[in-house]
DNA sequence: TATTGTTATACTCTATAACTATA
DNA sequence: TATAGTTATAGAGTATAACAATA
């Protein structure tokens, strides 16, 4: 992760900080996520997440939409520009990973894959989003 | 790493931020490291690293020592209190990892270990320290 | 009354630019 | 002249507390 992060910092769009990019990427993976989902995933307090989103909205990479059912909720979505930056970063990271993983023998690569799955299973990666903020709650509530 | 970091944030000494802890841990692993080693490892500019160290020195967790050979260099060392906090965090993280890894079958655990070694080999983890700042340069210079 | 999010305020993190001391 | 580090300044990140709006 450290190596990948260093790579991302070298590549990413000039004026976009790491926290901003993490928030952007989260919304990229979870279109319509609530603000509190962003806060929970990034480990931030709601005010901190709100301010972070402020910057992304000001940069025209994200938009806030009022929840259609529960008007307290805010649904976050990427703008066209936000999606462009997000996808470009994903592609860059994937290419970087692919280049390096190609150095491994196929059987070792398979072993790496199974190891990753094993780690994910025991560290209980929780679902990223509680709801889509577009109205009804989901069963996690 | 995300899970482990969340764990560390819950455990760690109350008034110690993540960047501060990362710097502390780096010096813990690299006693006598130069300031520029800290900056390079954390991906910070020298002024940012210097200010970060300021806080740790003020908290009496780290001390600055003038390099014995090259007086421009600063050797960073842990105080007794700094070492105590560092070791406690390492033990906490190790215990957390051990508890979770114990859920895996021994052969899967072996596979995870080999996968980690394979990843390290292809992502070229660089040495953390350029010199010990206690005088003579090393062969990397 | 509880939940979602924001505004207000303060401190830390981080960068660039300019500087000091040493080599 | 080049290198290691600090000081000065400014903007982003983050927290706690207080608030507004909605449920």
Q: What is the mean pLDDT of each run of 10 residues along chain A (141 residues)?
A: 68 74 95 96 95 95 94 96 90 88 94 92 73 46 30
Residue A132 lies in a domain: no
Q: Please give the Cα distance from A43 to A34 (Å, whole number).
A: 14
Q: Give pTM, 2 decimals.
A: 0.79
Among B9, B112, B119, whose Cβ lies nearest the Cβ of A118? B112
Tell me how many residue pairs between chain A and chain B have CB atoms under 8 A apart: 49
* A135 within a domain of the structure (yes/no): no
Q: Hey, which residues 97-116 in chain A have their CB within 8 Å of chain B?
A: 100-101, 103-104, 108, 111-112, 114-116
Flag whether pLDDT at B16 surpasses 90. no
Confidence at residue A10, expressed as pLDDT on a 0 to 100 scale: 64
Q: Which residue is nearest to nucleotide D5 (CA to C1')?
A: B72
How far does the CA of B77 sit from the C1' of C21, in Å? 22
pLDDT at B33 over 70: yes
According to the model, what pLDDT value does residue A128 have? 73
Q: Strand B74-78 relative to strand B33-34: parallel, antiparallel, unpaired?
A: antiparallel
Distances (CA, A) of B81 to B6, B49, B65: 23, 20, 17
Domain that holds residue A39: 2-123
Across B17-39, b (16+ Cβ under 10 Å) vs e yields eeebbbbbbbbbebebbbbbbbb
Establish if A136 belongs to a structural domain.
no
CATH number for the domain spanning A21: value is 1.10.10.10
pLDDT of B12 strictly over 70: no
**Cα(B50)–Cα(B54) distance, integer angstroms:** 6
B9 found inside a domain:
yes
pLDDT over 90 at B53, yes or no: yes
Total domains in the fold of chain B:
1
């Amino acid at each position: 992760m450290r190596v990948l992060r260093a790579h991302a910092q070298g590549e990413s769009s000039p004026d976009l900080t790491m926290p901003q990019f993490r928030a952007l990427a989260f919304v990229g993976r979870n279109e319509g996520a609530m603000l509190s989902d962003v806060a929970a995933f990034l480990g931030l307090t709601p005010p901190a997440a709100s301010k972070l989103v402020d910057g992304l909205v000001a940069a025209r990479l994200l938009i806030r939409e009022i929840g259609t059912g529960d008007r307290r909720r805010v649904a976050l979505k990427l703008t066209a520009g936000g999606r462009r930056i997000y996808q470009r970063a994903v592609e860059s990271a994937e290419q970087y990973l692919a280049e390096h993983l190609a150095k491994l023998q196929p059987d070792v690569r398979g072993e790496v894959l199974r190891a990753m799955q094993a780690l994910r299973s025991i560290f209980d990666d929780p679902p990223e989003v509680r709801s889509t903020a577009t109205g009804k709650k989901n069963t996690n509530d």
